[in-house]
Amino acid sequence: MSAAGRSQNADAFERALDNRPVMGRSLYVDAWHRLLKNKAAVAGLVVLAAMAVMVVLGPMLVEWDHEIPDWDHYSSPPSLETNHWFGTDALGRDLFVRTMIGGQISLLVGIVSTLVSLLIGVSYGAVAGYFGGRVDNVMMRFVDAVYAMPFMFFVILLMVVFGRNIFLIFVAIGAVNWLDMARIVRGQTLSLKNKDFVEAARASGARQSQIIRRHIVPNLLGVVIVYVTLTIPQVILVESFLSFLGLGVQEPLTSWGALVNEGAQELETAPWSLLFPAGFLAATLFAFNFLGDGLRDALDPKDRL
């Protein structure tokens, strides 16, 4: 064989080595590498990281408080001279600080409410799917009954009954947002409960609670992680809508939804009051959705090499 032919064979062999799957690499490590190849998902991850840093550290960068007005500047446009980077609202409060504080509340509502729905939905769906039969029928008929109620009406009802405390908002949204998670987990559990590793756990004498906790739930993490990244923006949007209606967080606290509501009322005279909080809200929602789409593709076992 000629030298050129040997060189081509060597190049082809090296390319095959580069493209072959890495043996022994776990699903999550492989998913992480595939996620990094998704530019939209990486961009979403970077935006979310930057947003988290900004809303936490942003209020420390300026001299203004989110409650105290600047008596000399009412509905003032953005200006570096006055140190109001995003301008002020109709009461003279610094909009930059209020946007950062609003981001803290909106992200906190999204994360905590999603964790509440995650805890309820995963536990409920895993139990229903694992036991099946009559237990599954009763539990899922209850889900269907609750699902038939208008979601927003149910949230508003809980908030009217228990008050509009910020922590009750977390619980109220999370307590009615677990239904989709329960259905998804139940379906995945039905496909897992007869697998060999579950049968082996039963044969070894493991209790049913241990099987659900140690064998069923850990194998649902891929689906759960993807759903969490798609649920957080949904919850943020629900809270924003409630705040827009005046049913969300109350003064002196604020959120992006409350700021959008205030900015909409001043759109003609002070458009910056709407532009900045709405821009931050939209960027966060898009970033979560891009990240969720990327995680869904990265964790799909059908796409693994």
Give the total residue count for the chain: 305
The rounded percent of the chain whose pLDDT value lies above 70 is 85
User: How buried is 67 (Cβ within 10 angstroms: 0-12 exposed, 13-18 middle, 19+ buried)?
Assistant: middle
Q: What gap in Å lies between CA 180 and CA 172, rounded to an integer?
A: 16
Q: List, for residues 252-289, the tens digit of each pLDDT value.
A: 778 888 888 888 888 777 888 888 888 888 898 888 88
- What mean pLDDT comes out for the span 113-133? 87
174-183 burial, b at 16+ Cβ within 10 Å, e below that, comes to bbbbbbbbbb
CB–CB of 78/87 below 8 Å? yes
Supply the pLDDT for residue 162. Answer: 65
119 φψ region: left (φ > 0), alpha (ψ -120 to 50), beta (else): alpha
Q: What gap in Å lies between CA 198 and CA 116, rounded to an integer?
A: 27
Residue 160: pLDDT band (50, 70, 90) is confident
The pTM for the full model equals 0.75
Nearest to 253 by CA among 83, 106, 91: 106
Tell me which amino acid residue 121 is: G
Q: List, for residues 20-43, the tens digit of each pLDDT value.
A: 444 445 666 777 778 788 888 899
Residue 18: pLDDT band (50, 70, 90) is very low
Question: Domain residues of the chain, as ranges?
Answer: 1-26, 38-303
DSSP letter at 4?
A: H
Supply the pLDDT for residue 23. Answer: 46
Supply the pLDDT for residue 91. Answer: 79
Strand partners, 84: 79
Q: What gap in Å lies between CA 40 and CA 21, rounded to an integer?
A: 24
CATH topology of domain 38-303: MetI-like fold (1.10.3720)
Q: What is the CA radius of gyration of the chain?
A: 25
Angle CA(190)–CA(204)–CA(125) in degrees, nearest 5?
25
